[in-house]
Structure 1
Amino acid sequence: MDSGALNDLDHRLLEALQLDGRAPFSHLARQLDLSERTVARRYQRLRGLGLRIVGQPDPARLGLVRWLLRLHCTPDAAGTIAEALARRPDTSWVTLASGGTELYCAVNTRTADERNALLLQKLPRTPHVLSVSAHCMMRIFVGATSTWHATRFRPATPAALAVDSGTPRTPLALDDTDRTLFTELARHGRATLPELSKATGRSPSSVQRHLDRLRTEGALHLSVDFDPQLLGYHMSTQLWLNVAPAHLRTVGETLATHPAIAFAAAITGTSNLVASGVFRSPADLYDYIDRQIGPLPGIQSIETAPTLREVKRLAPALP
């Protein structure tokens, strides 16, 4: 199915869900000036096309450190290695790029032992892995994941995008109810209060209090996942930028306002800023680099790596 099958109402509904993935149909109906029945019918149609609302934990808010791994593998093994990484509960997304020999993977670790077990033991001993570079995400400017939020016009800082303020905060303590909510919302972010009440063994009012706390404290975000190709965007690309330190914050915060950019973070390594973008075509990508990236101050180099396949997406490592 192509983007022409989606009309203006579908786009508006996606935009509204991006602002609040758990908004009741009655609220969405008032916002869109439609009947509740029409909104529900359109929502179910979009779900049939692959729409997912996914509850995701914020790694930093829960005391986790996020790493971006960049692996070069032999062509015959990259897919198998990507699939193995996707099965790990501590990975949140895995993509294949650059002719199928390079893959990217986001990993959340709580302790140095967890980090070292993967980076110093598991991966170096994996056959057909030619090189591994690990980049600590120092600050995430936009996007809890590298998945594009499928709307035509993306607000600069919707709740789902989890922009990092850069201010250190004490990790939020979780109880059994919180952990169960994370598990259930990772499956379906719009699970009803009765469904969550049954899963947790708590009353609906207690569940609502836990949800309000997790969202207010920035520990839980609702992400909207929809295939960009259905909206006419056929080119996903990883951008690796080397930015002069004096301009790193400015460039990162500027990228966070660009609708094409799903994810941008300051990282350790030779390239100190990485971003994921979604574009309609190679010409669209060229125009973006020429007109929006090029004029930014302090950019010393840029490397582009088109995504060939998303092996794992919006599958958060649960706390």
Structure 2
Amino acid sequence: MANPASALDRLDQRLICALQLDGRAEPGRIAAALGVSVRTVTRRLARLRETGVVQVVLVPHAADEAVGALLLRVRVLRGRVAAVAEALAARSDVPFVDVMLGGQEVSAVLVSDQPGRDRLLYRQLPGTDAVTETTVHAVLHLFADAGQWRAGLLTPAEEAALLEPRPADGPSRRLAAGELDELDRSLLAALAVDARSPATALAARLGAAESTVRRRLHRLAAGGLLRTHVTVDPRLLGMAVDANLWLSVPPGRLAAAGAALAAHPQVHGVLATSGPHNLMAAVFCPDYPALYRFSTEVLGPLGADRVETAVVGRAVKRAGVRVLLPRL
């Protein structure tokens, strides 16, 4: 089987890494940081977006939604997993869906109010003859989320150039929902679908003056509301193995273990949870030997009493966006 990472060259991968740092970074700033022409950056980014390789969307601050969210592990009859995964992915309150290796388990994250939660857990899933068992874990604490993961293909100097402070209008604190008007909410809704939409396109779409839209975007950015996430198949960045690690850690070590995992560059999510395992970590690895080394060298010193490794066979939905591996 061909290596999916070969579909992108090194510059494509580095451009994706630049978007991971700032999903709305202008081509000129990316070009200056990476030492390539603006024309090359513009052309390459357009191709990556048009082919569906990369989707950049707005995401809420994970801490706002994470605590109280539910992690679902749904056991499914063989041959029925695709239908269950698709049904879950179609829900707006399910931002993450994975099919686990072996094709008999679907992993999902549910962020819903109580009525929506109860309908899914007590009526819809039990009422589906394809589902044989559902295990539910409540998120108790967030150590790191998917939006913080970086593929690590940029130098420290390049990262610093992309992250250097820029002047912005408006407050330096988080804006509250009550401080937003109809135009603010319309801008956020448009950027939730395509966070790289330029001010000119947003102004035309919303019927507002471009200067007004630019001022509002500066204010929303300064108010911490333009947090972006790059949805891309990790295999295209050389990460062939995606695994969920369920750990049982003594309570006295839980905080330290979670913090240690959150700081590791291969980890793209760490949560303290309810249930027999009290810590879940999602990790990207280049291959299975690397996953073994992660287990022995990173997990080993954490003092976990028990570790379950569940390998993802196919990512269906990440951060509210369907994940595809398009042909380039």
TM-score of the pair, normalised by structure 1: 0.83
Matched, 1:74 2:89: no
Q: Deviations over 1:99-142 (max 9, x none)?
A: 11111111111x32222222222222222211112222222222
| Structure 2 counterparts to residues 85-124 of structure 1, below 5 A | 85-109=88-112, 111-124=113-126
How many aligned positions are there? 304
Give me the whole-angstrom Cα distance separating, in 1, the residues matched to 2:21 and 2:10: 17
Q: Relative to 1, partners in 2 of residues 1:300 and 1:213: Cα closer, same or farther, differing over 3 Å? A: farther
- The residue that corresponds to 1:241 in the other structure is 247
Q: Does 1:19 align with 2:21?
A: yes
C-alpha deviation, 1:218, in angstroms: 4.2
- Cα deviation for residue 260 of structure 1 reads 1.1
Query: Alignment partner of 2:205: what SS?
Result: helix
**Residue correspondence of structure 1 range 176-187 to structure 2 within 5 A:** 176-187=182-193
| Matches for 1:101-180 after TM superposition, within 5 Å | 101-109=104-112, 111-144=113-146, 149-152=150-153, 172-173=177-178, 175-180=181-186
**RMSD of the alignment, in Å?**
3.1
Q: Which residue of 2 aligns with 1:162?
A: none
**Distance of aligned partners of 1:245 and 1:207 in 2 relative to their CA distance in 1, 3 Å threshold:** farther
1:44 aligns with 2:46: yes
Matches of 1:97 and 1:192, distance apart in 2: 37
In the alignment, residue 35 of structure 2 is paired with which amino acid?
Answer: D
Distance 2:127 2:33 in 1: 54
Partner of 2:325: none
The aligned counterpart of 2:259 is: 253
Secondary structure of 1:100 counterpart: coil
Q: Secondary structure at the match of 2:122?
A: helix
Question: For the residues of structure 2 that align with 1:211 and 1:170, how far apart are their CA atoms?
Answer: 12
TM-score by length of 2: 0.81
Matched residues in 2 for 1:85 and 1:103: separation? 9
Residues 256-295 of structure 1, C-alpha deviations (whole Å, 9 max, x = no match): 1211111111112111111111111111100111111111
> 1:179-258 maps to which residues of 2 (within 5 A)?
179-258=185-264
Provide the C-alpha distance between the structure 2 equivalents of 1:186 and 1:249, rounded to a whole number of angstroms: 32
* CA drift at 1:67: 1.7
Query: Which structure's CA Rg is the greater one?
Result: 2
Residue 133 of structure 1 aligns to a residue in which SS? strand
Mean Cα displacement is larger for which, 94-103 or 25-34? 25-34
- 1:7 CA displacement: 4.5
Amino acid aligned to 1:271: H
Taking structure 1 as reference, are residues 214 and 143 closer, same or farther at Cα in structure 2, changes over 3 Å only? farther
8 A Cα contact 2:175 2:220, kept in partner: no
Does the CA-based 8 Å contact 1:91-1:105 persist in structure 2? yes
Distance of aligned partners of 1:128 and 1:139 in 2 relative to their CA distance in 1, 3 Å threshold: same
Shift of 1:81: 0.8
Q: Within 2, Cα distance between the matches of 1:4 and 1:134? A: 38
Give 1:299's aligned residue. 304
Shift of 1:222: 0.6
1:313 aligns with 2:318: yes
